[in-house]
Chain A
């Protein structure tokens, strides 16, 4: 498929001299869902703002549907809908009014039927005459989405759409995203939740310190993220791994006081039960077991410092 959004060597230095984007290049294909992950201050919002025209890039180029976002900004921006990270709505306007406003601002003729459809889909139709200030936080977030959809964008940016949103609304949001994808809308979303990327994204990009560290098919990344380790602590140290446990590909750590077993949480069988049985059969006495998993944080840290995966102790019980 053709790239609908093409970012080339994009750099952004803010007024104070802070460099928030350090040469980001990325192609996004039509119809895909890309999740951008990255720690606070990574530059996710800056990247989105620069693409949408809210801030000027310092150098580099962005092409949207084949149109440069500076020289052909009208054609480029007409394709884009944006749901900002912060709730930025005029408190005194009505829901229906503000959504209708968004459509008009993009130069589209009024279409009450479409606006109604969008509001119904987002469960906001009942609230159409309410003032923004009288809505709950989750409703306001949905108003932001309705506004972004009002001009029928081909590309939708969702900047942390589920931050501070309850589980139910989050699931709703995922459903809406899938429906939009089914309609052929390209979606770029940022999030801090790995489950979210896992649930809806086709590809995942990791950004830190203004640099895009990786863009990978979700499945490949998940396979890497899904690695877990089980540490079997022994009551008495051993000098070598017993023959009978050779098939488990274990590592001897901690001066022979523990066995380390790596497995894939996504696999049908983790092999833990057999392992523990075999350990007992081999006559080893367990002092404790512990699991460790690689978290998203580890991947960030690992990527940033140029290291491979590092592990961190997370939970206790394994069996």
Chain B
């Protein structure tokens, strides 16, 4: 591994983040606060406890997941799309580095950013509700894995996209619905049986469920299944990226 190159890409990507630090910091804090005002206080006060957890607290894991997933995808896809768009990707392509090093630099930085944002949201949330984390290690593991796997997915989208519209398309048409229907704001058991079955095809359900288990010790699906799902998703993304660099699809063709 050419670690100097990995560190160089990582630092350059993080530099972009720090340049826009205020935006990166303020927008998740603001939107989370709004969610809490609307869902936690205004509506939440009229909703009974879900699975024995106060509704305001119940939505926290889902809310963090929602932000972390969208942030990971947008950071990583933009991170690789931007040099492709400007043309300075020539430097990455002509450098003596392999695809693992490119991915480690770009995806590592994107995942770090969304991890940072996820943490900020958790802290903001703890200002509104009492949060007790029953399995802290599992919580960190789920958070980190989610950041990583969706940054990998974002990286793929960034390479696939030929223009800015396409860059927005997948997050808008696929990811947002999946995340909203992934049990962020409700328990799967609250759905009619038919929709419960459908929901099990939504990968986000496994993430939110596992993450929520780390907080409250209750899950919609077995925790092990959640871990397998996210692990499998990460591997699948890595496989696609490996193929992209092997064939040069959309970058070296």
CB distance from B112 to the nearest CB of A (A): 18
Q: Tell me which of A15, A90, A105 contacts B97 (CB under 8 A).
A: A105
Considering residues A56, A91, A109, which has the most beta carbons from chain B within 10 angstroms of its beta carbon? A56
Q: Which residues of A contact B7 (CB under 8 A)?
A: 104
**Roughly how many angstroms separate A105 CA and B90 CA in the complex, as a whole number?**
12
Q: Which residues, 208 to 239 on B, are CB-close (under 8 Å) to A?
A: none
Q: Which residues of A contact B12 (CB under 8 A)?
A: 93, 97, 101
Given A54-B90, A89-B86, CB of A106 within 8 Å of CB of B95:
yes
Q: Which residues, 76 to 111 on B, are CB-close (under 8 Å) to A?
A: 82-83, 86-88, 90-98
**Roughly how many angstroms separate A185 CA and B153 CA in the complex, as a whole number?**
41
Q: Tell me which of B8, B15, B82 contacts A105 (CB under 8 A).
A: B8
Q: CB-nearest residue of chain B relative to A75?
A: B96
User: What bracket does the count of chain A residues touching chain B fall in?
Assistant: 20 to 34
Q: Which residues of B contact A78 (CB under 8 A)?
A: 96
Are B94 and A109 interface neighbours, CB within 8 A? no
CB distance from B57 to the nearest CB of A (A): 41
A102 within 8 A of B: yes
Are A105 and B93 interface neighbours, CB within 8 A? no
Q: Tell me which of A15, A55, A105, A109 contacts B95 (CB under 8 A).
A: A105
CB distance from A22 to the nearest CB of B (A): 18
B192 within 8 A of A: no
Given A97-B15, A106-B96, CB of A55 within 8 Å of CB of B252:
yes
CB distance from B252 to the nearest CB of A (A): 5
A184 within 8 A of B: no
Considering residues B9, B86, B96, B252, which has the most beta carbons from chain A within 10 angstroms of its beta carbon? B96
Considering residues A77, A92, A107, A147, which has the most beta carbons from chain B within 10 angstroms of its beta carbon? A107
Are B96 and A77 interface neighbours, CB within 8 A? yes
> Interface segment, A80-88, A164-172, A199-207?
A80-88
Considering residues A56, A106, A108, which has the most beta carbons from chain B within 10 angstroms of its beta carbon? A106
**Chain B interface, >50% SS class:** helix
Are B19 and A56 interface neighbours, CB within 8 A? no
Q: Which residues of B contact A15 (CB under 8 A)?
A: 253
A53 within 8 A of B: yes
Interface size on B, residues (CB 8 A): 28
Given A53-B94, A77-B95, A97-B15, CB of A104 within 8 Å of CB of B253:
no
Are A74 and B96 interface neighbours, CB within 8 A? yes
Q: Which residues of B contact A108 (CB under 8 A)?
A: 4
Q: Which residues, 238 to 253 on B, are CB-close (under 8 Å) to A?
A: 248, 252-253
**Roughly how many angstroms separate A102 CA and B9 CA in the complex, as a whole number?**
10
CB distance from B115 to the nearest CB of A (A): 23
Are A84 and B87 interface neighbours, CB within 8 A? yes
Q: Which residues, 271 to 312 on A, are CB-close (under 8 Å) to B?
A: none
CB distance from A141 to the nearest CB of B (A): 14
Q: Which residues of A contact B92 (CB under 8 A)?
A: 105
Q: CB-nearest residue of chain B relative to A105?
A: B95
The 5 residue pairs across chains A and B that have the minimum distance between CB atoms: A104-B8, A88-B87, A52-B94, A74-B96, A77-B96
Interface residues of B (CB under 8 A from A): 2, 4-5, 7-9, 11-12, 15-16, 19, 82-83, 86-88, 90-98, 248, 252-253
Interface residues of A (CB under 8 A from B): 14-15, 49, 52-56, 73-78, 80, 82, 84, 86, 88-93, 97, 101-102, 104-109, 147
21 intermolecular pairs with C-beta atoms under 8 Å apart: A52-B94, A54-B252, A55-B252, A73-B98, A76-B96, A77-B96, A80-B94, A82-B90, A84-B87, A88-B88, A89-B86, A90-B82, A90-B88, A97-B15, A101-B8, A102-B91, A104-B4, A105-B91, A105-B95, A107-B5, A109-B4
- Beyond contacts A90-B82, A90-B88, A92-B19: 15 other A-B pairs, Cβ-Cβ < 8 A, are A15-B253, A54-B93, A55-B252, A56-B252, A73-B96, A73-B98, A74-B98, A77-B94, A86-B87, A93-B12, A93-B15, A104-B8, A105-B5, A105-B8, A105-B91
